[in-house]
Chains A and B, each alone.
Chain A
Amino acid sequence: DVVMTQTPVSLSLAIGQPASISCKSSQSLVHSDGKTYLSWILQRPGQSPKRLIYLVSKLDSGVPDRFSGSGSETEFTLKISRVEAEDLGVYYCWQATHFPLTFGSGTKLEIK
């Protein structure tokens, strides 16, 4: 199985500060069709997960443009340009290039 390693485990940031979360995969996530099936989701406390970014860098509809995704092959990054209160929760990366689909272990963002 592809192992998705996220760092850091947790972040504590003040409103307005930037955030950066790393996700590294144990294998290249480039599919034979040329696409890279790497997504980022946010699970706010007590809520279901919600996707923010798919195909490495494409923002889902309604996701603020302070979120951005980048990376290639085995190294990926989610950035928040300026953290807001509503951004707290646990962020997961996940891959759908290889069977089985696998999730990272999560990064908890707390607001100071």
Chain B
Amino acid sequence: QIQLVQSGPELKKPGESVKISCKASGYTFTDYAMHWVKQAPGKGLKWMGWINTYTGKPTYADDFKGRFVFSLEASASTANLQISNLKNEDTATYFCARLFGVDAWGQGASVTVSS
């Protein structure tokens, strides 16, 4: 079955960087785009953008341009999200998701930014 398994929780200080991974299984990784969605504590869902898993080209929503980088390790069927210069407002759960075709979401990766 289709699965997206994300890396574990992270506790970081402001100004640090974090990298979240999302390993896909159960389908051909390069056939479907990978999307990233942010959920701040107690809040709703916000789409961050997506990466074309065939070409590696990322597309970012406006609020996620600059400090956010989507990347791939296609040989490992893995998508990554890196956030640099972390700010308190980056504290959230980050989901990778296959939003088209058969629906699939990762379990979420919690990032806490605190001094």
Contact = CB atoms under 8 A, between A and B. Distances in A.
Main secondary structure of the interface of B (DSSP, over half): loop
A101 interface: yes
A100 B45 contact: no
B38 to A, nearest CB: 11
Interface string B40-81: 000011110100000000000110000000000000000000
B34 to A, nearest CB: 13
A100 B50 CA distance: 10
Interface residues of B, number: 18
Contact of A48 (B46, B49, B95, B102): B95
10 contacts: A41-B103, A60-B103, A61-B102, A90-B44, A96-B99, A101-B47, A101-B99, A103-B45, A103-B46, A106-B45
